[in-house]
Amino acid sequence: MIIDCHGHYTTAPQKLQAWRDRQLAGLADGNRTLPGPAPVISDDELRETIQGKQLKMQQDRGSDLTIFSPQAAGMAHHVGTQKTSEDWATVCNDLIYRVGELFPKNFIGVAQLPQSPGVSPANCAKELERCVKQLDFVGCNVNPDPSGGYWQDPPLYDRYWYPLWEKMVELNVPGMIHVSSSCNPCFHATGAHYINGDTTAFMQFIQGNLFKDFPTLKFIIPHGGGAVPFHWGRYRGLAQMQNRLLKDHLMNNVYFDTCVYHQPGIDLLAKVIPVDNILFASEMIGAVQGIDPETGHNYDDTKRYVDALPLSAEDKKKIFELNARKVYGPLDAVLKKRGLI
Ligand SMILES: [Zn+2]
């Protein structure tokens, strides 16, 4: 089985965005009762947004199952209040659940959290629990910067975040570090803000003692870990200056995905990062669309890069399947429930 651990519902029906627009318009008017009930979207409408798109791409590119979450840029935690984020996360997560029900062999949910700048992440516990216990979700996206490019909340090792980490440990689900849209014009969203978020989170994990307090807490750093693998020597050295070794300090807790959109980048990732810490992912349909004129293939068709790695079949199976089943605690149970293993 080939598990893509990083996909977003970027093709969600327009009715979802219309609901969000009403929510934001209500905020602007000071009318907090808007937008009212969840959007009414039929199963056929949902199928239509998936069949010719994510599902077709899975089939064309040879993956089987996508660990699927709401559109990352759409989370926009910086907008409105805690209540705004809670209502929006609920609506988005419910749609992800329905996609998983309609296509049980192909999609399993990961939650959008109702984060809000300056609001304790303790407010995320309830929605995360609902998603894992009632909707069969297997993880969540954690935005390390809910302010959208201004980094106003404490670093991830701060006790500020502990209520969320406690809930993740209790539910045995990992978090994918994932910023949302950028409201800082200095940071292009997918070109700078995303990669900054990945790199910054990794350094924060080096700085703190988070995994001493939470030995089973797990994170996936997407987009190949941002700048981290390329600067692995720097990070090993910085850790050593704090009298610690990266391999002991965080490599039982931090994983990297393969959303790197060229062969030399994947080659470097696999050379530097232990194979046990790499999870296959493409983030399709996502940040970088289009065909690379140098290869004739889509940039985000990452399976072909992993296929081309000089690794044993056993190691590739870890990247494509086994590592995801290890990191996403409830995944095997959901796969069994759906008859997939
Ligand atoms: Zn993403």
CA distances from 42 to 9, 31, 34, 97, 173 (A): 16, 28, 22, 14, 30
| DSSP-assigned states of every residue in 262-318 | SHHHHHHHHHHS-GGGEE-----SSS--SEETTTTEETT-THHHHHTSS--HHHHHI
Under a CB-based contact definition with an 8 Å cutoff, are residues 258 and 224 in contact?
A: yes
Give the tens place of pLDDT for each residue, 195-204. 999 999 999 9
Under a CB-based contact definition with an 8 Å cutoff, are residues 156 and 211 in contact?
A: no
At 148, the amino acid letter reads G
Q: What was the pLDDT predicted at 287?
A: 87
Catalytic residue set: 283
Q: What was the pLDDT predicted at 131?
A: 98
Angle between helices 194-207 and 232-241 (to 10 degrees): 30
Under a CB-based contact definition with an 8 Å cutoff, are residues 235 and 202 in contact?
A: yes
- Tell how far the Cα of 283 is from the centroid of ligand 1, in angstroms: 5
- Tell how far the Cα of 242 is from the centroid of ligand 1, in angstroms: 31
Encode the chain (341 residues) as per-residue pLDDT tens digits: 999 999 999 999 999 999 999 898 888 777 666 677 889 999 999 999 999 999 999 999 999 999 999 999 999 999 999 999 999 999 999 999 999 999 999 999 999 999 999 999 999 999 999 999 999 999 999 999 999 999 999 999 999 999 999 999 999 999 999 999 999 999 999 999 999 999 999 999 999 999 999 999 999 999 999 999 999 999 999 999 999 999 999 999 999 999 999 999 999 999 999 999 999 999 988 889 999 999 999 999 999 999 999 999 999 999 999 999 999 999 999 999 999 99
Q: In whole angstroms, give the CA distance from residue 209 to residue 28.
A: 41
- Tell how far the Cα of 23 is from the centroid of ligand 1, in angstroms: 24
At 186, the amino acid letter reads C
- Tell how far the Cα of 52 is from the centroid of ligand 1, in angstroms: 20
Among all chains, which residue has been given the structure tokens 């516990």?
125
- Tell how far the Cα of 6 is from the centroid of ligand 1, in angstroms: 6
- Tell how far the Cα of 339 is from the centroid of ligand 1, in angstroms: 27
Structural domains of the chain sorted by starting position, each given as residue range(s) with its CATH number in brackets: 3-337 (3.20.20.140)
Under a CB-based contact definition with an 8 Å cutoff, are residues 284 and 54 in contact?
A: yes
CA 49 vs. chain centroid, Å, equals 20
- Tell how far the Cα of 187 is from the centroid of ligand 1, in angstroms: 16
| Strand segments (E) across the chain | 3-9, 65-70, 107-109, 111-112, 140-142, 175-177, 219-221, 254-257, 278-279, 291-292, 297-298
- Tell how far the Cα of 33 is from the centroid of ligand 1, in angstroms: 31
Give the tens place of pLDDT for each residue, 291-314. 999 999 999 999 999 999 999 999
Q: In whole angstroms, give the CA distance from residue 95 to residue 57.
A: 20
Number of Cβ atoms within 10 Å of the Cβ of 243: 7
Q: What was the pLDDT predicted at 244?
A: 94
Contacts of residue 53, Cβ cutoff 8 Å, sequence gap at least 6: 11, 285
Contacts of residue 48, Cβ cutoff 8 Å, sequence gap at least 6: none
- Tell how far the Cα of 29 is from the centroid of ligand 1, in angstroms: 32
- Tell how far the Cα of 216 is from the centroid of ligand 1, in angstroms: 23
- Tell how far the Cα of 28 is from the centroid of ligand 1, in angstroms: 28
Q: End-to-end distance of the chain based on CA atoms, in angstroms?
A: 9
- Tell how far the Cα of 241 is from the centroid of ligand 1, in angstroms: 32
Q: What was the pLDDT predicted at 28?
A: 78
Give the tens place of pLDDT for each residue, 52-96. 999 999 999 999 999 999 999 999 999 999 999 999 999 999 999
Under a CB-based contact definition with an 8 Å cutoff, are residues 145 and 204 in contact?
A: no
